């Protein structure tokens, strides 16, 4: 049954890892960290120049311990892996009225195009399965096997757990090592803390600490167990065993602590969060705390996007909340009837509280709520075991009702990506041949024969309640490139004989879904972008132009018509717009190169 459950988790995990968009939290930053090591540049360093503005992607997670990234980089080097499509940060995140809801671009890639990236995801998935195995071993020492199995089912088939377990990040590796540590702490409770076990625990906590700083907190329950057993047995030597474990951690992690002290003036480097994310300028209010709890609750179960962009329906969180409340009542009854399980839940909920308080401590000074519910996953078995034990106690039978709820959760986790992510993050529309030619053929080439704008369509629409001009682009890739060029759309008028920009859109193609580094010759990309127009009460007339440019250099790609003539300022005219100020718009298209001249 355990093998069947883990196999089911891995099967759903492969679907999450390979089939879902690259929209998981901060994946581009974590990927940049591993790529930095893979390229032979060593560990990244955060530049702390006074008054500095934005930080490079590789710096955003450079305060994290390096173990996970080094493993990914080592496997990539061993297998000689290279990404043809290298995921990167979307500079236009939330910068347009629609689209650009994903931090990572391109929105989709494949294992063959980005083997290093998907290696990182698959390592996380294996760590997620290992965490379930270690959690089962812990629960099995105190609970019957059906309840222990249900505990990890409620833990592993949580949609958000699967979402994070298939992300390129160090979140799930530390979850795995933390649950290994909890298992060994459970053994120390049942069998006593010995010197050998203390050394083993010291090694585990060292590995957890070098994966993510959360792991260092395992020293606190270890110290609590040693203190309790020393008091109970009247043997002070047990405190020495805990000291040995702490010494192992200090020795194993000393180089990392010293590096942080040398570079940043703090052995744990936790203060860098306010450097990277900014410092909160107002004190927390009761409303802030309520919003925080609501955000953490929802993002613990399902938040398929950075921040709060893609939650489930409110009824989902309400239903889960009722089940959790029922389980808590059942757990209280179970603790009264079965004293032998009390040490397990003291350990689990003590650790959960410790993780939660440290999370709250770190986010209190940042202007945004960092991380979300995923930062509680190092203690996820506390929730899973509570649901399994409490529901089993309520229903008085070990399997039918609780197992049905666990199965329902697994089914929900399986359909969740198709229900929430697929509509929110549509795949790029690619074809080999057009069924119908564009309304306005162009045949414009960009750069040194890199891209061709075959033609375009135009029509009026509304975006976020505003009038807009929808433009359908028909792009053809002629050559591969490793650079991501941006599309611009300008509505420009003449005011007193001088050009005046009325409105504009700048984005990667596909609103970040399909940047030019992912384009492949032989495919036509049908892209739909929208240019917001001035308010209906504003009279104007102007020309809509478009083109491509390199964002870091702010240089436009040369644009040529069919006859090889270069467009002025490399802006391709698409239409002439006119509005009388009463809400009526007219399109005059196409506008040729001679008209623009």
pLDDT tens column, 82-118: 999 999 999 999 899 888 989 999 999 999 999 999 9
Whether 50 shows a pLDDT value over 90: the answer reads: no
Q: Do residues 229 and 191 touch, judged by C-beta distance below 8 A?
A: no
Residues 560-585, mean pLDDT to the nearest whole number: 87
pLDDT for the residue numbered 597? 39
> CA 149, 132, 179, 203 torsion: positive or negative?
positive
Whether 448 shows a pLDDT value over 70: the answer reads: yes
pLDDT for the residue numbered 496? 65
Beta bridge partners of 476: 452, 524
Residue 588: HSE in the Cβ half-sphere, 13 Å Cα cutoff:
10
Question: pTM to 2 decimals?
Answer: 0.92
| Total residue count of the chain as it appears in this document | 597
Whether 333 shows a pLDDT value over 60: the answer reads: yes
Topology classification of domain 429-596: Coagulation Factor XIII; Chain A, domain 1 (2.70.50)
Task: Please give, one letter per residue, the 3-state secondary structure of 107-165.
Answer: CCCCCCCCHHHHHHHHHHHHHHHHHHHHHHHHHHCCCCHHHHHHHHHHHHCCHHHHHHH
Residues 575-591, mean pLDDT to the nearest whole number: 76
- The residues, any chain, with a CB within 8 Å of residue 177's CB and separated by 6 or more, are 204, 207, 208, 211, 215
pLDDT for the residue numbered 593? 45
Tell me how far apart the alpha carbons of residues 523 and 216 are, in angstroms, rounded to a whole number.
50
Beta strands in 137-232 (DSSP E): none
Whether 592 shows a pLDDT value over 70: the answer reads: no
Distances (CA, A) of 141 to 138, 179, 204, 299: 6, 14, 19, 30
Q: What does the pLDDT look like over 493-537, one tens digit per residue?
A: 876 667 789 999 999 999 999 999 999 998 999 999 999 988 877
Q: What does the pLDDT look like over 367-422, one tens digit per residue?
A: 888 888 999 999 999 999 999 999 999 987 656 888 999 999 999 999 999 999 98
Whether 78 shows a pLDDT value over 90: the answer reads: yes
Q: What is the mean pLDDT of the chain?
A: 92
pLDDT category at 170 given cuts 50, 70, 90 is very high
pLDDT for the residue numbered 588? 76
pLDDT category at 140 given cuts 50, 70, 90 is very high
The percentage of residues in the chain with a pLDDT greater than 70, rounded to a whole number, is 97
pLDDT for the residue numbered 234? 82
Residues 485-491, mean pLDDT to the nearest whole number: 96
Tell me how far apart the alpha carbons of residues 326 and 154 are, in angstroms, rounded to a whole number.
14
pLDDT category at 594 given cuts 50, 70, 90 is very low
Of 46-55, 164-173, 285-294, which range is least confident?
A: 46-55
Q: Do residues 324 and 158 touch, judged by C-beta distance below 8 A?
A: no
Distances (CA, A) of 503 to 128, 253, 456, 550: 47, 54, 20, 20
What are the structural domain ranges in the chain? Answer: 2-274+289-424, 429-596
Nearest of 589, 539, 592 to residue 565 by alpha carbon: 592
- What backbone torsions phi and psi does residue 32 show, to the nearest 5 degrees? -60, -35
* Residue 236 or residue 363, greater confidence: 363
Tell me how far apart the alpha carbons of residues 4 and 161 are, in angstroms, rounded to a whole number.
18
Distance from first CA to last CA of the chain, Å, rounded? 74
The percentage of residues in the chain with a pLDDT greater than 90, rounded to a whole number, is 76
Whether 182 shows a pLDDT value over 90: the answer reads: yes
pLDDT category at 583 given cuts 50, 70, 90 is low
Residue 64: HSE in the Cβ half-sphere, 13 Å Cα cutoff:
24
Q: Do residues 138 and 179 touch, judged by C-beta distance below 8 A?
A: yes
pLDDT category at 77 given cuts 50, 70, 90 is very high
Q: Tokens in use for 473?
A: 């682009």
Residues 6-15, mean pLDDT to the nearest whole number: 97
Distances (CA, A) of 144 to 128, 340, 395: 23, 12, 16
Residues 258-267, mean pLDDT to the nearest whole number: 95
pLDDT category at 153 given cuts 50, 70, 90 is very high
pLDDT category at 595 given cuts 50, 70, 90 is very low
Tell me how far apart the alpha carbons of residues 314 and 77 are, in angstroms, rounded to a whole number.
45
- The residues, any chain, with a CB within 8 Å of residue 388's CB and separated by 6 or more, are 139, 143, 147, 148, 150, 151, 153, 154, 402, 406
* Residue 243 or residue 399, greater confidence: 243
- In the block, which residue shows the tokens 């003036």? 265
Tell me how far apart the alpha carbons of residues 182 and 380 are, in angstroms, rounded to a whole number.
11
Instruction: Render the burial of 377-397: b for 16+ CB within 10 Å, e for the rest.
Output: bbbbbbbbbbbbbbbbbbbee
- DSSP string covering 442-469, please? EEEEETTTTEEEEEEEEEEEEETTEEEE
Strand pairing category for 572-580 and 539-550: antiparallel
Tell me how far apart the alpha carbons of residues 351 and 357 are, in angstroms, rounded to a whole number.
10
pLDDT for the residue numbered 399? 64
Tell me how far apart the alpha carbons of residues 129 and 172 are, in angstroms, rounded to a whole number.
9
pLDDT for the residue numbered 547? 96
pLDDT for the residue numbered 327? 96
Q: Do residues 385 and 139 touch, judged by C-beta distance below 8 A?
A: yes
Q: Do residues 379 and 178 touch, judged by C-beta distance below 8 A?
A: yes
Q: Tokens in use for 150?
A: 């249900």
pLDDT for the residue numbered 494? 72
Nearest of 38, 114, 110 to residue 74 by alpha carbon: 38
């Amino acid at each position: 049954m355990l093998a069947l459950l883990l196999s089911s988790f891995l099967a759903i995990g492969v679907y999450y890892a390979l089939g879902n968009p690259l929209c998981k939290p901060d994946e581009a930053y974590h990927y940049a960290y591993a790529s930095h090591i893979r390229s032979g540049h060593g560990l990244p360093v955060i530049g702390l120049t006074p008054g500095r503005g934005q930080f490079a992607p590789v710096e955003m997670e450079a305060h994290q311990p390096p173990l996970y990234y080094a493993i990914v980089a080592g496997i990539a080097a061993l297998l000689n892996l290279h990404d043809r499509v290298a995921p990167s940060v979307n500079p236009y995140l939330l910068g347009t009225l629609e689209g650009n809801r994903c931090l990572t671009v391109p929105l989709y890639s494949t294992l063959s195009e980005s083997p290093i990236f998907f290696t990182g995801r698959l390592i996380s998935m294996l760590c997620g399965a290992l965490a379930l195995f270690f959690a089962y071993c812990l629960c099995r020492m105190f609970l019957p096997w059906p309840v222990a199995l249900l505990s990890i089912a409620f833990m592993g088939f949580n949609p958000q757990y699967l979402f994070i377990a298939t992300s390129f990040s160090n979140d799930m590796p530390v979850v795995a090592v933390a649950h290994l540590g909890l298992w060994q702490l459970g053994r120390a409770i049942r069998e006593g803390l010995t010197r050998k076990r203390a050394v083993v625990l010291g090694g585990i906590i060292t590995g957890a600490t070098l994966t993510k700083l959360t792991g260092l907190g395992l020293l606190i329950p270890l110290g609590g167990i040693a203190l309790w057993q020393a008091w109970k047995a009247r043997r002070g030597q047990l405190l020495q065993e805990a000291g040995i474990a702490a010494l192992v951690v200090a020795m194993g992690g000393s180089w990392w602590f010293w590096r942080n002290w040398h570079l940043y003036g703090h052995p744990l480097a936790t203060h860098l969060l306010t450097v990277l994310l900014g410092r909160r300028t107002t004190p927390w209010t009761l409303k802030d705390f309520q919003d925080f709890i609501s955000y953490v609750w929802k993002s613990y179960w399902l938040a398929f996007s950075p921040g709060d962009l893609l939650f489930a329906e409110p009824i989902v969180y309400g239903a889960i909340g009722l089940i959790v409340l029922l389980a808590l009542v059942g757990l209280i009854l179970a603790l009264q009837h079965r004293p032998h399980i009390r040490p397990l839940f003291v350990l689990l909920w003590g650790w959960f509280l410790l993780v939660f308080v440290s999370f709250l401590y770190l986010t209190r000074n940042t202007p945004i709520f960092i991380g979300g519910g995923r930062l509680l996953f190092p203690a996820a078995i506390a929730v899973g075991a509570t649901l399994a034990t409490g529901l089993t106690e309520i229903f008085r039978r070990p399997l039918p009702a609780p197992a049905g709820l666990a199965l329902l959760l697994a089914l929900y986790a399986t359909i969740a990506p198709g229900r929430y992510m697929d509509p929110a993050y549509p795949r790029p529309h690619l074809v080999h041949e057009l069924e119908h030619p564009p309304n306005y053929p162009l045949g414009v080439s960009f750069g040194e024969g890199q891209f061709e704008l075959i033609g375009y369509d135009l029509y009026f629409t509304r975006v976020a309640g505003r009038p807009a001009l929808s433009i359908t682009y028909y792009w053809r890739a002629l050559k591969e490139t490793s650079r991501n060029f941006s599309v611009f759309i300008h509505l420009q008028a003449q005011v007193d004989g001088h050009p005046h920009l009325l409105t504009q859109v700048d984005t990667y193609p596909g609103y970040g879904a399909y940047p030019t580094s992912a384009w492949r010759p032989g495919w036509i990309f049908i892209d739909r972008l929208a240019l917001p127009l001035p308010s209906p009460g504003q009279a104007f007339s102007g020309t809509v132009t478009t083109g491509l440019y390199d964002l870091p250099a702010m240089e436009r790609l040369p644009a040529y018509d069919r006859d090889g003539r270069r467009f002025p300022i490399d802006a391709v005219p698409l239409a002439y717009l006119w509005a009388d100020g009463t809400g009526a718009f007219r399109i005059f298209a196409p506008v040729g190169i001679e008209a623009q001249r």
